[in-house]
Amino acid sequence: MVSNNTAAPPPIQDFDAWLSGFQQTTVWIELGVLALCVGMAWGLGALLRRALNRQHEESSILFGRQVVDGVLFPLLLLTLAYVARSVLAQQIPLAVFKVAIPVLVSLVVIRVGVKVLQAAFSSAPWVRVMERTISWMAWGFMVLWVSGLLPIVLEEMEQITWKMGSSTVSLRTLIEGALTAGAMLIVTLWISAAIEARLLKSAIGGDLSLRKALSNATRAILMFLGLIVALSAVGIDLTALSVLGGAVGVGIGFGLQKLAANYVSGFVILAERSMRIGDNVRVDNFEGRITDITTRYTLIRSAAGRESIVPNEMLITNRVENLSLADPKVWQSTVVSVGYDSDVDTVRRLLVEAALAQPRVLREPSPNAALSAFGADGLEFTLGYWIADPENGQLNVRSDINLAVLAALRTHGIEIPYPQRVVHMRASGEQPRSSAGHEPR
């Protein structure tokens, strides 16, 4: 509680004294020292960025895309400004640093909040709204601080109280609790984003899925611990949440069964590594490559560019064909018809050569051409071959092989027959004549 006898600094007098300080020649010394702090902060940031080899990590919260874009630059500048203010306060009256320090504090708060939210929830639509909210709150706090109104506003909010059960809660306590909880969640998100970036760095295949599971579990645990610490910091008795915890458990048991099942299934998939990021799978007649596995759903992208969001529970309870788990190689085939008078050995050789001419076709197992059927119009050959990168497309390989086959057959004068059918013409009034089959034309 703030006592009513606490003497808050008169805002108008403080403001006038601050304005009069700008009329002194020592202001130029403060501006020069502040400019020196900016240069030193920029130089230290660039030096650390180069020393730690972070020039190409655009998503880094601490370093950002450039030296002045991350959290490190305003944090270094604030530290240097605090040191400079402490030194100058013993020599000259201050005016510039009375505004510079609150502005730098607000800039650090804004930069930390925005960068952490962008790293943790890059595609969430509400991130932009939260960024504006943090900016307005930080700059509003800075204005109240500089003008001297902050103690008065806090004292007035302390007087706005209401009873909640056996305890009395003030507006100041609620706002401080919300800010503390938000700060703790930002810190936990920052830590979890750093752990996730470290775990997922240069991870591929099965290691990527396992590390993704560890990062998701770490984020959930850290956010839960951060919320508990924030509630304890504002004086909320955690034993009072036991009833709420029981109600949440009942809600999960009845109303949120599917959601809980999807979350549990996601951790099971990532932990047992039955399906991994990068695998080619077929689920409910949809075939594609797994691009992401979250705690609730799995994202599958087909070769045609379509994406399917599959709930994790479906991958556990239904039949799923993993085309990459045992062997990444995929077998394809194409059918070609030639005339009955064609040389079979020559046709087979040309088909195999057309397949081997494509760099994506595997040499082992080698392509094979076989006489598969005696068609109504000609001999049918089936050309089978293997590829090891189906994620790069399958239709394009078949098209290239078909074009090569067509060019080879035309070069060697081998006929690709047209469909042949018999047409019976009858005079007007003639009765239809039945036929048991086709007659040669």
Question: Which bin fits 373, alpha (ψ -120 to 50), beta or left (φ > 0)?
Answer: beta
Q: Which whole-number Å values give the CA distances from 364 to 105, 301, 349, 406, in the listed order?
A: 64, 28, 17, 24
pLDDT in tens, 308-330: 889 888 888 888 888 775 667 88
pLDDT for the residue numbered 139: 81
Mean pLDDT of the chain: 77
pLDDT of 88 > 80? The answer is yes
Examine the pLDDT at 429 and tell me if it is beyond 80.
no
DSSP lists the bridge partners of residue 383 as 334, 369
pLDDT over 70 at 434, yes or no: no
pLDDT (tens digit per residue) in 52-80: 776 666 667 777 777 677 778 888 888 88
Question: What's the whole-model pTM score?
Answer: 0.47
Would the pLDDT of 247 be above 80? Answer: no
CA dihedral over 52, 54, 60, 61, signed as positive or negative: positive
Question: Which pLDDT does position 182 carry in this prediction?
Answer: 78
Q: Report whether pLDDT(248) > 70.
A: no
In the prediction, which pLDDT does 249 show? 64
Please report, for residues 131, 181, 258, 281, the alpha-carbon distance to residue 136 in angstroms, rounded to integers and kept in the order given: 9, 18, 39, 47
Q: Position 81: which residue type?
A: A
* Whether the Cβ atoms of residue 231 and residue 181 lie closer than 8 Å to each other: yes
pLDDT recorded at residue 37: 87
Judged by DSSP in three states, 297 sits in strand
> What pLDDT sits at residue 57?
62
pLDDT, position 19:
62
Contact 313, 284 (CB under 8 A): no
Q: Can you tell me the distance from the alpha carbon of 271 to that of 415, in angstroms, rounded to the nearest whole number? A: 57
Lowest mean pLDDT among 22-26, 94-98, 381-385: 22-26
Identify the bridge partners of residue 33 per DSSP, sorted by sequence position. none
216 Cβ neighbours under 8 A, 6+ residues apart: 266, 267, 270, 294, 295
pLDDT of 245 > 80? The answer is: no
pLDDT digits (tens, 9 = 90+) for 212-234: 667 777 777 777 777 777 666 66
Asked if residue 6 has pLDDT above 60, the reply is no
The encoded tokens of residue 208 equal 């990527």
> Which residue, 282, 262, 257, is CA-closest to 216?
262
For 298-309, the pLDDT digits (tens) are 889 887 788 888
What pLDDT score was predicted for residue 440? 45
Q: How confident is the model at residue 7 (pLDDT cuts 50, 70, 90)?
A: very low
pLDDT of residue 8: 40
Residues paired with 361 in a beta bridge: 387
Proportion of the chain above pLDDT 90, given as a percent = 13
Checking if the pLDDT of 180 tops 80, the result is: no
Checking if the pLDDT of 345 tops 80, the result is yes
| pLDDT score at 257 | 73
Q: What are phi and psi of 309, to 5 degrees?
A: -95, 110
Query: pLDDT per residue over 269-288, tens digit each?
Result: 877 777 888 888 888 888 88
Mean pLDDT check: name the lowest of 14-18, 20-24, 94-98, 389-393. 14-18
pLDDT at residue 5, as a whole number: 43
Query: Distance between CA atoms of 215 and 194, rounded to whole angstroms?
Result: 10
pLDDT reported for residue 59: 64
Evaluate if residue 438 carries a pLDDT over 50: no
Closest of 341, 340, 358 to residue 403, by C-alpha: 358
Task: Identify the pLDDT of residue 241.
Answer: 60
Amino acid at 21: G
Residue 144 has a pLDDT of 76
Sequence-distant (≥ 6) Cβ neighbours of residue 55 within 8 angstroms: 49
Does an H or E element contain 162, and which? strand 161-164
Report how far Cα 367 is from the mean position of its chain's Cα atoms.
Answer: 40
Q: Quick check: 11 pLDDT over 60?
A: no
Q: For residues 401 and 187, what is the distance between their CA atoms, to the nearest angstrom?
A: 56
**What does the pLDDT read at residue 229?**
73
**Contact between residue 68 and residue 91 where contact means Cβ atoms under 8 Å apart:** no
Q: Which of 381, 370, 382, 400 is closest to 333 using CA atoms? A: 382
Among the listed ranges 11-15, 86-90, 294-298, which one has the minimum average pLDDT value? 11-15
